[in-house]
Amino acid sequence: MKKKWFLFTVASLLLVSCKSSDEVKPDDGTGTPSWTTYEVLDTKAELGFYMLDRNVGATEKYNSKAPSKAAIGNYYQWGKNTPVKISADSSSITNYDKEWNAPSASAKDWSKAENTPCPCGWRIPNLVEMKKITAAAWADYDGLTDQTEAEFNAAKALYSKLALARTGYIRIVGADSTARAAAKVGVYLPKAAYIWSAALNPDTPTSSRAFKYAYTLSDNYDIMLGKKGNENEVNVAMPIRCIKD
């Protein structure tokens, strides 16, 4: 089957409207228009929707045999469309708000596609869609479930197709605002993969540090979904992978 390629125009503006289905105007934080080419992954049969082959802002697809910083993409705090780290800049962390929380007056509602950094017509997976990804791409290597051989092989194939970039996430330590103000921002678990969902966690309205939680996909040892310690605070920053019907 011939691969489908779409070329999106990336400009340094918040996504408000699109002139066509091939144009995107997210805020990439650079102030300079650039071009990014995405491949569309046909995951319709496995998941019921399509996915982009890389994180927002990544200039190449992730290759586990030859990892590249260009495949990481931009890091975003949940509901904040200005990235705190740009894929093309491997060292600089800017625009990180140590007290960012959501929902707030300045936070975007990521449940609406037009409010996200995704290309025009694409969106961030909601909770149901993220559950589909984690369920379909999880292979039971330890034999802990009744997963059949066919299901096991299908999960491995989907996991390989998704090519989740090893990105870690950006966080700040500190139990209170005074401690956080003095702390250094850094990347945590850089060999693990993380992407945001569009869903806040209603069961855990605040963390011990008073930050809200949002659901994320995490892939450290096993691909999974849910709240795990501080890994899902909306204050942290991680990449985005977009989908569409």
pLDDT digits (tens, 9 = 90+) for 141-183: 888 888 999 999 999 999 999 999 999 999 988 888 899 999 9
pLDDT higher than 90, residue 27:
no
More confident residue, 6 or 12: 6
pLDDT digits (tens, 9 = 90+) for 190-232: 889 999 999 988 776 667 788 888 889 888 767 776 544 335 7
pLDDT higher than 90, residue 129:
yes
> Do 86 and 78 form a contact (C-beta atoms < 8 A)?
no
Rounded distance, CA 1 to CA 230, Å?
A: 42
Amino acid sitting at position 21? S
> CA neighbours within 13 Å on the CB side: how many for 101?
10
pLDDT of residue 231: 52
pLDDT of residue 91: 65
Rounded distance, CA 110 to CA 41, Å?
A: 22
Rounded distance, CA 194 to CA 164, Å?
A: 8
Whole-prediction pTM value? 0.82
**Arithmetic mean of pLDDT over the chain:** 81
Q: Measure CA 181 to chain center.
A: 26
Three-class SS string for the chain? CCCCEEEEEECCCCCCCCCCCCECCCCCCCCCCEEEEEEEECCHHHHCCEEECCCCCCCCCCCCCCCCHHHCCCEEECCCCCCCECCCCCCCCCCCCCCCCCCCCCCCCCCCHHHCCCCCCCECCCHHHHHHHHHHCCCCCCCCCCCCHHHHHHHHHHHHHHCCCCCCEEECCCCCHHHHHHCCCEEECCCCEEEEEEEECCCCCCCCCCCCEEEEEEECCCEEECCCCCCCECCCEECCCCEEC
10: confidence class by pLDDT, cuts 50, 70, 90: very low
Q: What is the largest CA-CA distance in the chain?
A: 56
Task: Work out how many domains the chain is built from and give that number.
Answer: 1
State which residues form the domain around 204: 5-244
* 9 C-beta neighbours (distance < 10 Å), count: 17
